[in-house]
Amino acid sequence: MGNIRIGCQTYTWEMLGEEWKGSVDDMLDIISGAGYAGVEITNTMIGDYYTDPDGFAGALKKRGLVFASFGFVPHTSFTEDGCAGDEIARAKKGVDFVSNFPGCRLDLAGGSSTDRKDIRKKYKTMCGIYNEVGEYGLKRGVGVDFHPHSHAGSIIETDEEYGMLMEMTDDSVGWCPDSGHIVRGGLELLPTLERFSNRIRNFHFKDADENGNWKLMGEGICDFKKCLDLLRNIGYDGWVIGEEESAEARENQAASVEKNRAYLRSLGY
């Protein structure tokens, strides 16, 4: 089984928006009850705990959970002119928060735009933010990653764009691949992972079908067994974060994350 640990991302609840009436503690109860070892939550979901790291540490300890990674959502898109100063300041606050949790990483969301005009200029802004926050993270003992997505406006989807992202970011800034976003963006999963495997520092497992619809893990086209084989082969000892945003998850969040955990157990984890 190696040293890979299994965590759960709270986007399953975040995607509901105002429909979700529960609390952070409610999510932690469900995640712990399903048998996950850790949790990834975002700056937009953590609520009052963002100013109370000791309180959050206590809530995690009570449930036997580890803070695996902190997903960071920008105010803007990481690509707009003039956004860098504010986004860097906000992300540094995230690094400071994470520094209270040894081993926890900060994952910066992928950049987006309404179009791909002046794409290298947009990448210069986005990657400049990643690099500066990554450098600050090194000083604070916090690993920093970028997390490309495939939602509307994503500018990190093609082979060329992934190559440009890796070229324009420092090696010290890690990559958090997301299996579902990779295939929804039109790329082949395993070749993409193999091409940039030296940058993998965190990993989101999420499934989708050939039409880009989110599916429960194991019901789409992502080959998670081969993903795990690849991680073992490169000596990966970080987190695999199960994330779920399928139609089933909208109906029953607890059941969907429990099914994902059971699926990963069937693969030996």
Confidence of residue 2 (pLDDT cuts 50, 70, 90): low
Q: Is the pLDDT of residue 1 over 50?
A: no
Q: Is the pLDDT of residue 183 over 90?
A: yes
Q: What is the pLDDT of residue 152?
A: 86
Q: How far is CA 36 from CA 85, 99, 157, 230, in A?
A: 36, 22, 30, 22
- The domain ranges of the chain are 5-240
Q: Which CATH architecture has domain 5-240?
A: Alpha-Beta Barrel (3.20)
Contact 184, 208 (CB under 8 A): yes
Chain segment 48-105, per-residue pLDDT in tens: 999 999 999 999 999 999 999 999 999 999 999 999 999 999 999 999 999 999 999 9
Chain segment 185-239, per-residue pLDDT in tens: 999 999 999 999 999 999 999 999 999 999 999 999 999 999 999 999 999 999 9
Q: Please tell me the distance from the alpha carbon of residue 265 to that of residue 269, in angstroms, as a whole number.
A: 4
**pTM of this prediction?**
0.97
